[in-house]
Amino acid sequence: MIKIAPSILSADFLNLESSIKKVLKGADLLHIDVMDGHFVPNISIGLPIVHAIHSKIKIPLDVHLMITNPDQYIEDFAQAGSDILTIHYEVCHHLNRTINHIKSLGVKAFVALNPHTPIFLLSDIVEYLDGVLLMSVNPGFGGQKFIANSISRIQELFNLKKQKNPEMSIAVDGGIHIGNVNKIVEAGANIIVAGSAIFKSDDPLKTIKTMKGTL
């Protein structure tokens, strides 16, 4: 069974609580993109929103730190209610130490890879991870088109998972919709992050159910 993580980057920010509640019955996680305007060319939300969601809505929070210096904020986001913290390989100079720090706080540790960061760079760290988030668009904005060669990257990561960490999750984020989710899951993904396809649909809950029923 795959898990669906709606990305609130595409939610209605003027009515965020009601927008989130529309997907709760079908969602397994809630994906929250934190952007700093430096690592990615956009600024999104921060600690107060994560804390507010955690205090009012009971669903695991998958917090994606798309920021240049994640180590500075790991404890803050853990205390705000994160169940998963995802940090980017591209900005972590001491990745093993950062992963251990996240886990010491009782939070699951995921590492994200941008679309053109090679999979093999995770070979020596993958056994310590709870999951890997593969970006299938260039990070920073919602509503982008899925990058086609992401399928082969998912397959490569799935092979690495089988060899070194069979329990690890593979999440994919970017440009996913009903028309391509089947290929993504077949390639090895078990967590689907989708924003526009869910929140901009006429029936978000039906879209989630359709995605889950693809296999």
pLDDT in tens, the chain (215 residues): 899 999 999 999 999 999 999 999 999 999 999 999 898 888 888 999 999 999 999 999 999 999 999 999 999 999 999 999 999 999 999 999 999 999 999 999 999 999 999 999 999 999 999 999 999 998 777 668 999 999 999 999 999 999 999 999 999 999 999 999 999 999 999 999 999 999 999 999 999 999 998 54
Q: What CATH number has the domain bearing residue 45?
A: 3.20.20.70
- Torsion sign over Cα 71, 72, 75, 78: negative
Please tell me the total count of domains within the chain: 1
Structure pTM? 0.95
Could you list the active site residues? 33, 173
Question: What Rg, from alpha-carbon coordinates, does the chain have?
Answer: 16
> Where in the sequence is the domain holding 185, given as residue range(s)?
3-212
